[in-house]
Amino acid sequence: MPASGSYDIFLRGTFGIEPGGATGRKLRELAKIISVPRGSIAPLDHTHGSLVFIADGSTKLVAHASHDREQIVAFHFGGDLVAIPPDSEHAFSLMALKDSGLIIFPAREFYDRASAEPTIMRVLLDRFQTALFRCRDKALGLGRKNAQERLASFLLTMAERLDNDANGCRVLDLPMSRRDIGDSLGLTIETISRQFSELRAAGLVETSGRSRVVLKDPVALAQRAGHLQ
Amino acid sequence: MPASGSYDIFLRGTFGIEPGGATGRKLRELAKIISVPRGSIAPLDHTHGSLVFIADGSTKLVAHASHDREQIVAFHFGGDLVAIPPDSEHAFSLMALKDSGLIIFPAREFYDRASAEPTIMRVLLDRFQTALFRCRDKALGLGRKNAQERLASFLLTMAERLDNDANGCRVLDLPMSRRDIGDSLGLTIETISRQFSELRAAGLVETSGRSRVVLKDPVALAQRAGHLQ
DNA sequence: GCGCTTCATTGATCTGAGTCAAAGACTTTG
DNA sequence: CAAAGTCTTTGACTCAGATCAATGAAGCGC
């Protein structure tokens, strides 16, 4: 169980407001602070929208087409905010990739109570905008890129987002499996594996173990990703 | 040129605030009100993000992978708000599907001046959330659905969004070409055409001319779209 | 209303990624 | 540390949708 103090860190770190203030206390009443073990699904209320803060760990947001077809719609890491819609045409679930601490709010109530605080709303807006822009890039990849371009894009994006320490953003420890990468890129596990082999053969990446990836030539990788120069 | 009064309609209709108030006047200074003829690209500042209000008409937001590969990331209709990022790995452009009136703001400045007004921020948040949820559904379709499911989904979504008058939301006048539909669904124009033929043969839709589509059996269509029952 | 242009449909063939199958590598656990 | 289980890699074959090519409508200008 994560320290209940993760709520304070959340409010101060993400929104820059004091947990002890009026808004801070009003929001606290809504928060459900839980820890989710690797491979488990976050217990969300699927009849209403949720807003989830990833206190620590990492998660995948999965959209379910039918029984056995899943599309990972986004990955999230410590510090991220995730908005999850109520189930309608499609169902969504949030699964932990590693043991994760989450703070779960009912979305509507959170917005109602937060709307008095301009700094919170401004941060929410920025986060949502970033999520939207990322999702559009993903749509571009899924609709118009081939397998190699998708994997190259993916690796560069992860390098950027996982660049927490001073690893020079070239050595990645991917928290997700090949299957997850496939489910995110709209490809199969075998295709992911084949594309890794090709990138390896071309000297653009090195891999060791199941999660370690070294980007040997990020520039060439960006070209293969179909990025603008 | 659209009546400059479209700005007033925008503020009152979308945000419910008075254009004559302090915030209304501050935002007015940022607005660029223009009309864009069918087939033309909105003149945006691509070094900064933009926020565009579609006063009337309809547009497509296009992401450019490389030279000849385009992915339509979203369609927008009168009353919609569109956030467009500055160019980075990919470039975006907003093109009018029919003669359209737009109100263009520099995004950052708009948010800065609007953040004092909770009602505006709340509406923005809702709109962004809706856009994000739509984009995720699109990602699911592009990643995991076959051609027929994609087209069926598309038609149902359009029926919902174009349901302006009392046409029972079953008779559509699509403002976009087969090519646009293809560019939106990650398919070719020929595949779109073939899928229309199949749906027609199955008695689920009727088409007449280039833009008229009648949904004869929305329930069966929803099944083919891979929606949850 | 007639020719021109653009868009949509249909058919034949090709191909990149999926599927099926098997072997090999990494982790975990007793 | 060896056995078991899981994840990854590689190969052979298949198939949905792309590509190439031709014909058939719609819409538009004169």
Q: Which tens digits make up the pLDDT trace of A17-63? A: 999 999 999 999 999 999 999 999 999 999 999 999 999 999 999 99
Q: Find all residues with CB under 8 Å of B54, minimum gap 6, and list them.
A: B76, B77, B78, B79, B80, B81, B82, B100, B101, B102
Q: Minimal Cα distance from B182: which residue of A? A: A143
CB hemisphere CA count around A183 (13 angstroms): 19
Q: Find all residues with CB under 8 Å of B99, minimum gap 6, and list them.
A: B35, B36, B37, B38, B57
| Mean pLDDT value across residues A181-206 | 96
**Chain A contact for B74, CB < 8 A?**
yes
| Mean pLDDT value across residues B138-167 | 89
Summarised one tens digit per residue, pLDDT across range A99-140 is 999 999 999 999 999 998 999 999 999 999 999 999 999 999
Q: Give pLDDT, residue B6.
A: 85
In this prediction, residue A4 has a pLDDT band, given cuts at 50, 70 and 90, of low
Residue numbers in A 124-153, CB below 7 Å of strand C: 146-148
Q: How far is the CA of A221 from the C1' of D4 (A)?
A: 38
Summarised one tens digit per residue, pLDDT across range B118-127 is 999 999 999 9
Structural contact between residues B152 and B200, judged by C-beta atoms closer than 8 angstroms: no
How many A/B residue pairs have CB atoms within 8 Å?
A: 143
Q: How far is the CA of A26 from the C1' of D9 (A)?
A: 53
Predicted confidence (pLDDT) at residue B226 exceeds the cutoff of 90 = no
**Chain B contact for A132, CB < 8 A?**
yes
**Chain B contact for A22, CB < 8 A?**
no
What b/e sequence results for A31-67 when a residue is b if at least 16 CB atoms lie within 10 Å of its CB, and e otherwise? Answer: bebbbbeeeeebebeeeebbbbbbbbbbbbbbbbbee
Tell which strand D nucleotides have any atom below 7 Å from a protein Cβ: 7-12, 16-21, 26-27
Enter the DSSP assignment of A106. Answer: E
Q: Which of A155, A167, A157 is nearest to A206 (CA)?
A: A155
Q: Minimal Cα distance from A229: which residue of B? A: B89
Structural contact between residues A79 and A33, judged by C-beta atoms closer than 8 angstroms: no
Which residues in chain A have their CB less than 8 angstroms from residue B63's CB? Answer: 136-137, 139-140
Q: What percent of chain A has pLDDT over 70?
A: 96
State how far the Cα of A85 lies from the Cα of B133, in Å rounded to an integer.
7
State how far the Cα of A44 lies from the Cα of A54, in Å rounded to an integer.
14
Q: Give pLDDT, residue B169.
A: 60
Summarised one tens digit per residue, pLDDT across range A8-17 is 989 999 999 9
| Mean pLDDT value across residues B133-138 | 97
Which residues in chain A have their CB less than 8 angstroms from residue B145's CB? Answer: 65, 69
Contact A125 B129 (CB under 8 A): no
Residue A78's H or E segment, with its range, is none
3-state secondary structure B143-211: HHCCHHHHHHHHHHHHHHHCCCCCCCCCEEECCCCHHHHHHHHCCCHHHHHHHHHHHHHCCCEEEECCC
3-state secondary structure of B58: strand
Q: Which of B70, B89, B129 sits opposite A128 (nearest CB)?
A: B129
Domains of chain A, start order: 6-141 (2.60.120.10), 146-224 (1.10.10.10)
Q: Find all residues with CB under 8 Å of B139, minimum gap 6, and list them.
A: A63, A71, A73, A135, A138, A139, A142
Higher model confidence: residue A56 or residue B67? A56
Structural contact between residues A53 and A103, judged by C-beta atoms closer than 8 angstroms: yes
Amino acid at position B209, single letter: G
3-state secondary structure of B213: strand
Q: Give pLDDT, residue A188.
A: 97
Q: Which of A72, A76, A89 to probe the B interface (max B CBs under 10 A)?
A: A89
B176 CB below 7 A from strand C atoms? no
Q: What residues does B40 pair with on adjacent strands?
A: none
Structural contact between residues A82 and A108, judged by C-beta atoms closer than 8 angstroms: no
State how far the Cα of A100 lies from the Cα of B62, in Å rounded to an integer.
36
Chain B, window 156-215: residues with a beta carbon less than 8 angstroms from a chain A beta carbon: 183, 185-186
